[in-house]
Structure 1
Amino acid sequence: MAAVVGAVVLLGSSCEDSASGRGADKPAATTAGAAAPSPSPSTPAMPSLIGQKFGEAEAAVKPLVSRPVEARSSFGDIPLAADHGQWPVCFQTPAAGSPVAPATAVELSLVPPGRACPDTAGATSAPSRTPEASPTAAPPKPKTSPPTDGGSTGGDGGGSGAGSVYYKNCAQARAAGAAPMRRGQPGYRDALDRDKDGVACDK
């Protein structure tokens, strides 16, 4: 009878050891299966291309998209040149920092080299800023009344009948665009008519 009881005790002890072993193994299996998945690569962002030449900007965008980069003039009245690789970028779509997918359409608005960007794309071009030659100086205005030392009403022969305009000499009359002057016309006086033929400052 004692032998039977001992066998039962040994059998029960063996079962407890097996269950304890399986319990010890279980947490290890659970820990191994809880590993976090690796993160997916992030979507690329549109680079800032403003100010770059089109050739450089296009090279920066090509690796990001599968569609051709579209170029157009920033001015509505200036056509895009066939060779616009050196034209700077004024506007870009999408904006810098926007996510870019392979199918994204990229559009760049350009200006001719040396020209400033307009305020908005498609605007009319401003007048050329190339410095122009200084305009010809305006001729001096003739005096409105003859001097007291003769003039057209006396002293030197007068005869003009138009004393409201006075030219000191023929050079001043020519600068004002009034020469030659015939007798009776404004500014004519005998002192300027050297050959007395009725036409002053004709030579």
Structure 2
Amino acid sequence: MFVRRGAAAAVVVSAVLLLGAGCEDPAPKAAGATRPSASTSPSASVSAPASPSTAAVMPSVVGKGFSEAETAVKALVTRPVEARSAYSDVTLAAAHGAWTVCFQTPAGGAPVAPDTAVELSLVAPGTPCPGKAGAALHPSKAPAPAASTTPVPAPKPKATVPTDTGSTGGDGGNGDTAASSGGGGSDAYYSNCAAARAAGAAPIRRGEPGYRKALDRDNDGIACDK
């Protein structure tokens, strides 16, 4: 009986020991675990890119006086600032410091380097800017029409009426008189175009002395024109 009780007590003690071992806090093991240091992080090992340097930009100087604009530009570029008249028919004055800037190259906000060429187009004080650089302030009037190259016929001498009105014309004439050919009651008569040219009357237009249809081959109202 005593032996059974001792064995039972031993079993109880063993069970208590096992329970105590199972209830141990595993935190110390977790606390002792090795953690990766911040220096081994991939993101920490990559260095941040350097920020690019700020590039110089062209200031907007339109509307300013040339002296003020030149001072602002010379702070950025080493080349001389080129000034010119905004009008093609206006000469830039030697002293143009008070002239107003109408156009600029490069434009305001464009990047510039020390060797950038800068050009400013100016107008005299009180003069409005043109619509575009190089326009004329006083455009010339419309050109006069070119002189006509058609020779002016010389005054025609009055021809005498020949006595023979029945002769035939050498240039297609058929002997028609001025009255019958619609010559407008002309008192001149030419037997043919050769006679009209010899008298200085050719060409003869309809209604003029000496005109008749027989001498107007193409019926264009002008006789002896060819």
Task: Tell me the TM-score normalized by structure 1.
Answer: 0.47
Of the two, which has the highest radius of gyration?
2
Task: Tell me the TM-score normalized by structure 2.
Answer: 0.43
